[in-house]
Amino acid sequence: MESGDTGAVHRARVASRRLRELLPVLQIEPAAAHKLGRRLRKLAGRLGGVREVDVLTELVGELRQSSRVPARALKRLTDELGAAREHEKRGRSRKGLSADLRRVLRRLEAVASELEGADRGRARGRGWRWAIEARVAHRASALKSAARDAGAMFVPERLHQVRLAIKKLRYGVELSAESIGLKNTADLRLLRREQELLGRLRDLQVLVERVRRVQVGLTPPDLAAWRELDAVVIALDGQCRRLHARYVKDRVALNSLCDRLGVRASSAAARRAG
């Protein structure tokens, strides 16, 4: 990961998010959980810049294979992204990253030891499951609200909020499923599919913004180069519109999922009260 391996960086970021999801339901001191969560978030943030540039570079590679956009424009983008990646790597000290990793790993090992020796009774075991269900219900409600606000219009920032809500709900549902021994449910498959769809849409939008910055930065001004870069924007926008159409088609299934998860949590709360 310290060498900037794309797959390793991605796996590290996913692992940090899954660990942050788990922390609030572990039987450790809230202050300790908050501090560890902050460290995990900081670690993921340090890796985020390189990961974004890598994703954008892959998208440019896909455009190159399609042969539908000017090669010179893609060469400009590839050079710009290469410089951006080097900048991100220089700003991410290997020594500092290694130190952060070691601190997080030591704390995780300490938490694991504490939990291994803890006496967890049956009632307390049910308690953390109820906490997970309550979180899932809250996030399902948040997703439904975000989807309602986004509507059927193509508004990138609102769709980004839907994606974030889906991601948070997905991690909660994964934790809930794993707590009862399940790995791959229909609900999780739907959430993963929609997260990937909106994630790709977001990446395409970020690349559009990057192309626009390259256009503005053309020195000296070059009308031919501007038009070539505009062709890239048009191709990317077409992909975005097609992905958005797929999302709109899937909104009914997402709403039904949110309703179902809310009912399930309400039933669990009623059983607990009874």
Write out pLDDT tens, residues 32-89. 778 888 888 887 777 777 788 999 999 999 999 887 899 999 999 999 999 988 887 7
Can you say whether the dihedral through the CA atoms of 101, 107, 111, 117 is positive or negative? positive
Check residue 249 and give its pLDDT. 95
Cis amide leading into 156 (omega within 30):
no
Contacts of 162 (CB under 8 A, 6+ apart): 143, 146, 147, 150, 198, 247
Write out pLDDT tens, residues 5-15. 666 777 777 78
Write out pLDDT tens, residues 101-155. 777 777 777 777 776 665 554 444 566 777 888 889 999 999 999 999 999 999 9
State both tokens at 121.
């009774």
Query: In 3-state terms, the chain is what percent helix, strand and coil (to 5)?
Result: 85, 0, 15
